[in-house]
Amino acid sequence: MLKVTSDTTTIRNVAVIGSGLAGLTSAIFLGRMGHHVRVFEKSRGPGGRMSSKRVSGGSADIGAQYFTARNPEFLAFLKQHAGTDAFGVWPARFGFQAKDNSWQSFPDENRYVGTPRMTAITRALSAGLDINAEVRIERLIAQGNQWQLECTEGQNRGTFDQVVITAPPAQARDILAASGLDELAGQLTQPVEQILPCWAVAAHFAQPPAEQFDAMRPNSDELYWVANNSSKPGRDDQGQWWVLHATPEWTQEHVDTEADVVSHKLVEAFSALTGTKLEPTETVAHRWLYARSADGEKPGYLLDQQKRIGLAGDWLAGGRVEGAWESASQLVRAMQ
């Protein structure tokens, strides 16, 4: 676990851009070191891609589906800062479809989810942090040894000694480019090209479609992932909510297709996959332009010590939730 060294640390004002897991982790660790931290988030609340959508009777996780905690320090961090009520193990039956279309079980591993929804974790982590929601940071303006943050409305959002950017690569690059930080922005060219989009659909079935697995990785052109959201711990749904994620290729082809049409097509693909004749009673769709990073280099974080700007996020540490935490932990350690 990161050491707290406030007795030897110079107290600084630090801005964190983004309140997904990487932003919240950075803010918590920096705060523990005694720094004054303000978090800026363009959306209405924290969470980023650990996202849940309110639906009739509850909520459905439309972003990250579950996460691993292979590093015991990650689990310890969550227990300490989110609390054990905010997450739990998802004891689901996980299966994948091989190239010959036969179904096989995923290897056993603890897979965690937020309870009663994915956002419970980021909500709990953000308690006690200074989060400024609905503020999209446009650019950083140099003020001597400090950075002034300007939002899209042109307002000055404060002056800081250090800035941590945890937005996905395309949005991070926009901020850096608008700030004249071209060299740093240039380092993001490849990560920007490697991030993949994803259409997500949550579909409610009044009667449970009988399935061998609760969570599936099909061998399909349309569907990348299919899961019974109602099988996660702490959900109390009437009927079942299923979450369907399209493949990156299908999403790319349908990136401008209307949400209703996307829902219809992905439910059709679900029916073809499972053989269910049941019609959903309700569907909601969400388009992620920046969902997952393709496998690439894993530098962990980017830090320009001289300019006092650090970058963290899943895309710097192999993608996924645990990568976001690893990246932020490594960045803060390097910033000391």
Closest distance between ligand FAD and the C-beta of residue 45, in Å? 9
Distance of CA 136 to the CA centre of its chain: 17
Task: Determine, following the binding rule CB under 6 A, whether residue 43 of this chain makes contact with ligand FAD.
Answer: yes
Residue 10 Cβ vs ligand FAD, minimum distance, rounded to whole Å: 26
Asked if 50 touches ligand FAD (CB under 6 A), the answer is yes
If the CB atoms of residues 139 and 204 are measured against ligand FAD, the closer one turns out to be 139
- Which amino acid appears at position 232 of this protein? K
DSSP at 41: -
Give min distance, CB of 46 to ligand FAD, in A.
Answer: 7
Name the token pair of 123: 């909500």
The only residue of 52, 59, 65, 247 in contact with ligand FAD, by rule CB under 6 A: 65
What whole-number distance in Å separates Cα of residue 74 and Cα of residue 30? 16
Nearest-angstrom CA–CA distance, 45 and 23: 13
| Of the residues 14, 38, 58, 63, which one makes contact with ligand FAD according to CB under 6 A | 63
Q: How many CB atoms lie within 10 A of CB 315?
A: 30
Query: Would you call 248 helix, strand, or coil by DSSP?
Result: helix
Eight-state DSSP code of residue 280: P
Nearer to ligand FAD by C-beta: 204 or 245?
245
Q: Map residues 19-38 to x or -, x wherever contact with ligand FAD holds by CB under 6 A.
A: xxxxx---------------
176 touching ligand FAD, by CB under 6 A: no
Q: Which residues pair with 96 in a beta bridge?
A: 104, 217
> Which CB sits closer to ligand FAD, 20 or 58?
20
95 forms part of the interface with ligand FAD (CB under 6 A): no
User: Is residue 175 involved in binding ligand FAD (CB under 6 A)?
Assistant: yes
What's the min distance (Å) between Cβ of 69 and ligand FAD?
A: 10
User: CA–CA distance from 205 to each of 51, 52, 55, 76, 278 (Å)?
Assistant: 21, 18, 13, 37, 7
CA distance 150 to 141: 7
Number of residues that bind ligand FAD (CB under 6 A): 39
Using the 8-state DSSP alphabet, how is residue 205 labeled?
A: E
Cβ contacts of 3 within 8 Å, gap of 6 or more:
none
Per-residue contact string for residues 270-309; x = within reach of ligand FAD by CB under 6 A: ------------------x--xx-----------------
User: Is residue 66 close enough to count as binding ligand FAD by CB under 6 A?
Assistant: yes
Long-range contact list for 267-275, CB < 8 A, 24+ apart?
Answer: 267/201, 267/203, 269/220, 269/222, 269/223, 269/244, 270/203, 270/223, 270/226, 270/242, 270/244, 273/216, 273/218, 273/220, 273/223, 273/226, 274/209, 274/211, 274/226
User: If binding is defined by CB under 6 A, does position 162 make contact with ligand FAD?
Assistant: no
Q: Does 67 bind ligand FAD (CB under 6 A)?
A: yes
Nearer to ligand FAD, 33 or 246 (CB): 246
The C-alpha atoms of residue 71 and residue 66 are separated, in whole angstroms, by 15
Assess 149 for contact with ligand FAD (CB under 6 A): no
In the list 200, 269, 284, 309, the residue contacting ligand FAD (rule: CB under 6 A) is 200
Nearer to ligand FAD, 225 or 278 (CB): 225
User: Contacts with ligand FAD in 216-245 (CB under 6 A)?
Assistant: 245
Tokens of 120: 């419970």
266 binds ligand FAD (CB under 6 A): no
Asked if 197 interacts with ligand FAD (CB under 6 A), we say no
Residues 6+ away with beta carbon under 8 Å from 124:
81, 82, 83, 86
> Least distance in Å: CB of 207 to ligand FAD?
26
By CB under 6 A, name the binding residues for ligand FAD. 17-23, 40-43, 48-50, 63-67, 136-137, 166-168, 171, 175, 198, 200, 245, 288, 291-292, 313-314, 319-321, 323-324
